[in-house]
C-alpha cells in the first residue's frame, strides 16, 4: 500500500472584523497623529533604513499604553486561541507592540521576530495599491525534483502572500521569515505588529 502524506504544516490564524469600524477609525487617527511626533524610521535596526515605514519601534511599546488597550486585548485573546489550537497550556502575553505606517516608497526586508513564540499583524488600513505581507516557506529544499510537469502543492508554495483587508489580523509563528515590498498606495497602509512570549 502506498500513501502520500504531507508533514510539518505551518498554521496561520486569520481573523476578520477584529474591532468595529468606529473603533478602528479612532485607532487610525491616533496612529497618524503619533506618526507625526513619536516616530522614527527603521534606521540602523532595519536594512530598509530611510525607506522603512514610519514606526514607533524602539521608541515605546503600544502594548503598554492605555490608548491601545482595546486592540491589544483583542489581539491577545486571538493569539491565545491560536495557542490552544497548538494544545498549549500556557497563556501568552504581548512583549512588544509597534505601529508601521507605509506609503508607496516604504518596504520591510525579510526578517523574523526572535525571542517570541507568536507574532501578529493587525491591518488597520489596507488601501488600494498596498503590498501584501509575504511569508517564506521555512523548508529549505537543497535539491528540488525539477523539472516536473506541474508543480504540486508541496513544491509550489515557496512564498505565501497575505493581501488582507481593513480590520483583519494575521497570527503566525515568530520564526517565519516575512517581508513587505514597496507598494503603489497613495494613502497610508497602517499596521500594528505584536510579539508574544
C-alpha cell at 51: 525607506
The model's confidence at residue 38, banded by pLDDT at 50, 70 and 90, is confident
| Stated pTM of the model | 0.90
Q: Which residues, at least 6 apart from 87, have a Cβ–Cβ distance to it below 8 Å?
A: none
pLDDT (tens digit per residue) in 39-97: 776 656 788 888 999 999 888 999 999 999 999 999 999 999 999 999 999 999 999 99
Omega before 147 within 30 of 0, i.e. cis: yes
User: What is the model's pLDDT at position 45?
Assistant: 74
* Sequence spans of domains, the chain: 13-196
The model's confidence at residue 159, banded by pLDDT at 50, 70 and 90, is confident
Whether the CB-CB separation of 138 and 97 falls below 8 Å is answered with no
CA nearest 39: which of 106, 110, 95? Answer: 106
pLDDT (tens digit per residue) in 168-195: 999 999 999 999 999 999 999 999 999 9
| CATH number belonging to domain 13-196 | 2.60.120.620
Whether the CB-CB separation of 52 and 69 falls below 8 Å is answered with no
Q: In what order do the strands lie in the sheet with 133-136?
A: 108-111, 178-180, 133-136, 159-162
Amino acid at each position: 500500500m502506498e500513501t502520500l502524506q504531507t508533514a510539518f504544516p505551518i498554521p496561520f490564524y486569520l481573523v476578520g472584523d477584529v474591532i468595529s469600524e468606529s473603533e478602528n477609525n479612532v485607532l487610525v487617527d491616533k496612529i497618524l497623529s503619533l506618526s507625526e511626533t513619536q516616530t522614527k524610521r527603521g534606521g540602523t535596526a532595519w536594512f530598509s533604513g530611510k525607506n522603512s515605514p514610519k514606526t514607533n519601534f524602539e521608541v515605546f511599546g503600544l502594548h503598554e499604553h492605555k490608548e491601545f488597550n482595546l486592540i491589544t486585548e483583542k489581539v491577545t485573546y486571538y493569539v491565545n486561541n491560536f495557542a490552544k489550537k497548538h494544545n498549549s497550556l500556557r497563556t501568552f502575553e504581548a512583549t512588544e507592540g509597534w505601529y508601521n505606517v507605509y506609503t508607496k516608497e516604504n518596504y520591510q526586508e525579510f526578517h523574523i521576530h526572535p525571542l517570541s513564540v507568536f507574532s501578529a499583524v493587525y491591518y488597520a488600513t489596507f488601501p488600494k495599491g498596498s503590498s501584501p505581507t509575504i511569508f517564506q516557506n521555512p523548508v529549505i529544499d537543497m535539491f528540488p525534483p525539477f523539472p516536473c510537469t506541474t508543480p504540486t502543492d508541496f513544491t509550489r508554495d515557496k512564498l505565501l502572500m497575505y493581501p488582507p483587508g481593513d480590520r483583519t489580523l494575521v497570527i503566525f509563528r515568530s520564526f517565519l521569515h516575512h517581508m513587505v515590498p514597496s507598494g503603489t498606495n497613495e494613502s497610508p497602509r497602517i499596521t500594528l505588529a505584536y510579539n508574544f512570549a
